[in-house]
Structures are given as structure tokens and as C-alpha cells.
Structure 1
């Protein structure tokens, strides 16, 4: 029997977070004492300021966003700790250890921040059909992110040789699952994509504005160090589509356009990140 999209989403997120825990450079965690102010600024930026900016944009009376688009933007905004953040930072001239530390810290903080922000969004917008309970979301985030992450960290701590041996295969499995999930969603909803874009055209500039603001926010919160600036810009702009899709499957199952919106937000993030990263690369030359 083939897995359902919900089961595949859950398995993908679990595999990604477990792989992250297995591959984390534990020695890099000692840098938190020297960078406590930077880490605090980054966490406030990615877990608080980005979601609140999305809230203000959607609250604007000049933006009549359709409800599915609001769901998608809200879910991506409140879900920090992007799955591929550490690798992306390492490849783009960022600080891999700092990215790892921020990714773990954001995943922990998300257990509190996502339920509270979700409750704030639903109360302000009077969302119908989304019976969100903070304790349920906290438990779901903990099981989906924290549990596999902790298991991976424990394996790396107490069985480093085994962790080193399986790190690359686990990473590949997690990437294949993520690619499979995205392709499955595109195949199932592909025919509706152009319809979605046409019906939600006003949401595309809002998504782009969110991504650009997040990049600028991370860049501005960092110290005047090119590696830190790249890392924090990626931390604040890259959201967690796996977690957003999982929450959409749980709390908005009757609104399939939400998942399309999440994918569109992800694509916009990737596209707008390219010129920023090229600009940063040109500064290092």
C-alpha cells in the first residue's frame, strides 16, 4: 500500500531532522558562548519578526488576500529551521557551525513560538475550520522536529563511528524523500498550479516581499562579518516547508490550495536567494 501524502510528509520531516542531528558538528556548539547576542538576535528575527511582518502584511486593508494564500504565507512564516540550512550555508560561504546551532535553537523555540503565533493569526483573522490548540501544535512540532533531532544527536554523541558511516546515506535518503514529496504534490496538484497562480496573483508580490524582507533582516542582524551575514540571511529567509506542509495537512485538510501556496513560496525563496548569494560571492572575490 502506498503511503498517503500525510504519512509521506511526516516520514520526510522525521528523516530530515534525524539526518540533521546525525550530521551536526557538535564541536561547533561551543561557539554559542562567544555569540550569545548574535544568536539571540537571529532567533528573534527568524521566530518572531518574520512571522509578525507576515501578519502586518496580511492585515493591510489594501491587500485582499484569498484565505488559502493567507494560510500558506502564515504557515511558512511561522515555521523556522529550514531542513537544508546547514548544508546551504556551508556551500554559500556561510558559517556551518553557526547555522547548525541556529537551526537546533530555532527548532526548540518553534515548539513555543508556532502554537502562540498560530493562535494569534487565527484570532486576528477569524479563521474558520482551523481548530488550532497550542498544546496540540506544540506536541506535533516536538514529535516532528525535536524527537528525531535529539535521536540523531544522541547517536552522534554515543556512537560517533556509526553516525559517521551512515551520515551520507541518511542525508541522501532524506533528500530523496523531500524530492519525492515535492514531486508528488506537483503531480497531484500540477494542473491546478496555473489556476492557483491566476486566482492568487496578489499573493505572489506579498510572498516576494516576505522573502526580500527576511534576507535583508538577517543581513542587518548579523555582525559585519561576511560569513555571519550570509548565514543569518539564510536562517531568516529559508523556512521549513516540510513542517508547513505537515501543519497544513493536519489543520487545513479541506483547503488543498494551501499546499500549493507553500510550494510557490518555496520556489520564490529559491529564486530570490540566487542574486543575493551571487552578490555575496562577488564580494568575497
Structure 2
């Protein structure tokens, strides 16, 4: 088990690198990964099942103990990211398929990797976990509605079928994970450390599959999509932080809100795009999976160093 735990930690630390490597291979040799297309939805279900295994009652208790920061963060999540997605897609004049894909990323809940980034950023981890959980539970209602409302003019959107997809791919696996944790707690505790390795592997495979399916058109669309993703993610991180500060949340909570807002469940966006839109619409989600882990890691490094810099004078004075 220790070997699995070490491999899991290594996979988390080098996650963005593996995504880049396999995305590059899939672009150059798409025939190797094109079989992955039908497996993307089950893979996302595995990721969500792993999330359910890690959830505890305390993750939801915070809603009642400190409702203000949680409600503020979740509201910012579903306001800032959809709004900035629409603004970025419109400003860049993206084709309808790509514009809808960017909008779909913006309408999705927070990503599970955000909790690790918040921890590294010295942010409020309980708030981060609670925001991820609540936004995920709200996704069956809010994600289809927001996509239909803001992207319906770009591509036809069937919110009813999308609700069913999210219930099947997200909510059902999470509930199953919660039940397994409830009835087999000892086994789950032993396996928890290895879960990130499974999630990272699944996301890498998903990204490789999406890139392989779009290899022919990727050369023409890569640059505008990458620019859209960088702008979308950057605006989410920036506006999430400053809106939280404007609401008078303290520094750790503001960092948590910033990262929760800026980091999306892009795997869900990929699965929904393939099931309800088209393969090209899945590209923004695939590229977002790479970029938000890079930007989140850079931001975590900056904030953690900033925190150490503030403590050094105090330590010197007391020494």
C-alpha cells in the first residue's frame, strides 16, 4: 500500500506534465487513443465515485456552521464563470462549437483538484471542500440551465437530457461512493491515499481521447481555444479573489473562493460535450484540464511563498 501511496503523491505532483505528454502523443498519433471516446463517460463516473469515497458529513456541516462564506462562494462560482465564459467567447468571436464548449466549462461545478491547490495556497480547505461538494450537487440543475440560457443561440441544447446525464455520471457515482464509505469505512480509509492516482490516470486518458478525436482540426483551433481557456481561467481566479475580498472574507477564505471559482470540473464538461454537443465542443474542457492545474499550481506557489515571507520578520524578531 505504501508503494501505491507514493505513486499517488507523485501522480498529483506531476499531473499537468502527464496531461501535456499524453495530449502531445494523442495529437501526433491519434489512432492510438481514438478508442477512448466511448469510455470517457464511465471514466468520469470513476472519478466522481472516488470523490464520493472521500466525502464526510463534516464537508456539509460547514454549510450550517458558516453559511455566509459557503453561499457567497457558490454564488460567485455560478455567476463569474458562466458570465466570463460568455464574454470571452463573444469577444474572441469563437465558432459556435468552441463557444458552446467554453460556455459549458463555465457552467460546470468546481473541480476536485481545487482542494489540493487550496491546501498548498494556505487557504481555507474546509470551505474549499464544501464549495466543491455543494456546487457539484447543484450541477444537475444549474449546469444545463446556464448552458441553455447562455449558449442556446450557438448550438441546440437539450437541458432535460443533460440533467439525466449529470445525475447518472456525477450524482449516482458520488452517492455510491458515500454508501461504500458508510458501510466499509476501514477498507475505504486504506484505499483513500491511492485514489488520486486513479483520478489522475482517468483524467489523462480522457484528455488524450478528446485530443485524438479532434486531431485533424486541432491545428486550426488550438490557438484560439488556448487563449480563451487562459483568459477564462485567469478572470475566474482574479474576480473570485477580489469579489470575496469585497464581501469582506478574510485572506484564507478569499484564496479558497478564488481557486474554487477559477478551477472547474472540466472532465464533466468534456463528457457532456461529447454526449450532447460534438467532439470539437469538448476541446475547451480538455485544454482547461491542463491549464487550470498549471495556473493553480503557480498561484499556490506564489501564495505559499508570500505567507512564508510575512512570517520571517516575526520569527527573526522573536529569535
* TM-score, normalization by structure 1: 0.84
1:266 equivalent in structure 2:
289
Instruction: Check whether the contact 1:226–1:280 (CA below 8 A) recurs between aligned residues.
Output: no
Residues 16 and 83, structure 1, Cα contact 8 Å, conserved in 2: no
SS at match of 2:110: coil
* Structure 1 position 48 matched with structure 2 position 79: yes
What are structure 1's unaligned runs of at least 5 residues? none
Count of residues in correspondence between the two structures: 273
Q: Which of 258, 277, 285 in structure 1 is aligned with 2:300? A: 277
* Distance change (3 Å), C-alpha of 1:157 and 1:225: farther
Q: Could you give the per-residue CA deviations for residues 152-204 of structure 1, whole angstroms, max 9, x where no partner exists?
A: 12222333212212223343222212212223333454564333225xx3x54
Structure with max Cα Rg: 2
How far did residue 53 of structure 1 move?
A: 2.7
TM-superposed deviation, 1:68: 2.8
In structure 2, what is the equivalent of residue 106 of structure 1?
Answer: 135
Contact 1:196–1:257 (Cα < 8 Å) also in 2: no
**RMSD, aligned CA:** 2.5
Cα offset, 1:19, TM superposition: 0.7
Cα separation, 2, equivalents of 1:215 and 1:80: 14
What is the distance in 2 between the residues matched to 1:275 and 1:168? 24
1:1-285 aligned at under 5 Å gives the runs 4-60=35-91, 63-123=92-152, 125-127=153-155, 130=156, 132-190=157-215, 192-198=217-223, 201=224, 203-222=225-244, 223-253=248-278, 256-285=279-308
Write 1 or 2 for the structure with the bigger share of helix.
Answer: 2
Question: Per-residue deviation at 1:236?
Answer: 0.5
In the alignment, the residues of structure 2 paired with residue 218 and residue 170 of structure 1 have an alpha-carbon distance, to the nearest angstrom, of: 28
User: Residues 180 and 233 from structure 1, CA distance in 2 versus in 1: closer, same or farther, beyond 3 angstroms?
Assistant: same
Residues 212/19 of structure 1: CA separation in 2 closer, same or farther (3 Å cut): same
TM-superposed CA distance for 1:250, in Å, is 1.1
Gaps of 5+ in 2: 1-32, 309-319
222-231 vs 43-52, which deviates more?
A: 222-231
